[in-house]
Amino acid sequence: MRAALAMVLLACAVPDALAQHSVSGTAFDDAGAPLTGSVRLIAARRATGVPSKPLSATVNSDGTFTLTNVPPGEYLVQALGTRGPGRPAEFGVEPVSVTDRDPYPLTIRASAGAVLEGVIVVEDQPQSRAATVPLVAVPFDADRAPEAGQSTLAVYGDGRFYLTGLYGRARLGLATASEGWYVKAVTIGGVDATQGGFDFGFAQETFRDALIQVAHATGVISGRVAGDTGRPAAGCAVIVFSTEREKWFANSSYLRRVQASPDGSFRVGGLPEGDYYVAAVDLQGSVDSGEWQESEALQALTTAARRVPLGDGESYVTQLQLIRR
């Protein structure tokens, strides 16, 4: 019997003792056929918390699935289907509200996502340099996009590129942090998508005439951190982030963290021109993990952080007082 192997996960913040409902539905591919091959349905990830134990269910050969023992709450049900070698993965997502009764069955329509075509230009470098640019799309809402690694990038020697597997609104950035290199400007079909990103939708559609400008920045912020007694604050985290909130996102060149040296000194190089907040935080504090990148954590630092204006290629030296949280 042909059955798609699948898993459905629901993020749940309600105790399991309250679980009492079922969520059911059907998952189809873009052609309207049941998802086949290796299929996974995963839960919506909450940006402000960690999902509790997932719930799973098998997707049958006719595309149907049922999750049981679901507590009341607001959910997103994601569907991800892999159709074999050489064929792109497919993704779909639907919200569901579980109240005092079973919700109506869901219909999830997956697709291989959008394709972006265009040219990458690296400032002051030969055009062949574009072939080494690790371009990625960073979704605004991770709940409505597949996990990282689903998109595919191809860049040719003349800078032409194809980026596949795009869903919803996303920013274009660099996958790896190579000091100083950053995406300076993005236009898609003549529309500026540098900071606001671009909405690729959820259908299999091709967007052309993209221009990605990559540049090298040499701005530096350095200095020393003092602790409560005035002595050097060794090993603390120094966080440098733009004063513009829209630049607080994963892979942003305007958001960096380094560890202070034993003598309290620090250096953050390769920064683009702009205004920045600089804060030194105790590593034992609440921003010691990946949570330091979350908007709420950064916003909390702005009142005690030092504001630094940084011109193109400038170096700025400052003294910081350790913030304990």
What is the domain-level CATH number for residue 186?
A: 2.60.40
Question: What are the C-alpha distances in Å from 34 to residues 38, 156, 309?
Answer: 12, 36, 55
Residue 20 CB neighbour total at 10 angstroms: 14
Domain count, the chain: 3
Same domain (yes/no): 62, 149: no
Within a domain: residue 245?
A: yes
Residue 229 CB neighbour total at 10 angstroms: 6
Within a domain: residue 202?
A: yes
Within a domain: residue 2?
A: no
Q: What is the pLDDT of residues 24-77, one digit of tens each?
A: 999 998 889 898 643 445 455 553 333 456 677 777 889 999 887 777 877 888
Within a domain: residue 10?
A: no
Choose the weakest-confidence range: 4-13, 155-164, 168-177, 263-272. 4-13
Same domain (yes/no): 104, 73: yes
What is the domain-level CATH number for residue 41?
A: 2.60.40.1120
What is the residue whose two structure tokens read 């963290």?
Answer: 257
Could you give the CA distance from residue 162 to residue 182 in angstroms, rounded to a whole number? Answer: 19
Within a domain: residue 34?
A: yes
Instruction: Please report the DSSP string for 139-192 in residue order.
Output: ES-GGGSPPTT--EEEE-TTSEEEEEEE-SEEEEEESS--TTEEEEEEEETTEE
Within a domain: residue 3?
A: no
Of 196, 216, 236, the residue at which a domain comes to its end is 216
Within a domain: residue 61?
A: yes
Average pLDDT score over residue span 290-307: 84
Q: Does 223 have pLDDT greater than 60?
A: yes
What is the per-residue pLDDT for 225? 93
Within a domain: residue 288?
A: yes
The residue with greater pLDDT, 89 or 136, is 136
Same domain (yes/no): 137, 82: no
Same domain (yes/no): 92, 145: no
Of 175, 201, 216, the residue at which a domain comes to its end is 216
What is the per-residue pLDDT for 52? 53
Same domain (yes/no): 122, 33: no
Side-by-side strand order, sheet with 315-321:
265-271, 219-226, 315-321
**Interior/surface letters 146-172, b for 16+ CB within 10 angstroms, e for the rest:** beeebbebebeeebebebbbbbbbbbb
What is the per-residue pLDDT for 96? 87
Are the C-beta atoms of residues 151 and 145 closer than 8 Å to each other? no
> Which helix (H) or strand (E) element contains residue 296?
helix 295-301
Q: What is the pLDDT of residues 80-135, one digit of tens each?
A: 887 666 677 888 999 888 888 899 999 999 999 999 999 999 998 988 888 888 89
What is the per-residue pLDDT for 249? 82
Collapsed DSSP state (helix, strand, coil) of residue 245: helix
List, in sequence order, every residue forming a beta bridge with 223; answer none if it has no partner. 266, 318
Q: Does 285 have pLDDT greater than 50?
A: no
Choose the weakest-confidence range: 122-136, 198-212, 232-246, 285-299. 285-299
**Confidence class for position 18, pLDDT limits 50, 70, 90:** low
Which range marks the domain in which residue 312 is found? Answer: 219-321
Same domain (yes/no): 123, 90: no
What is the domain-level CATH number for residue 289?
A: 2.60.40.10
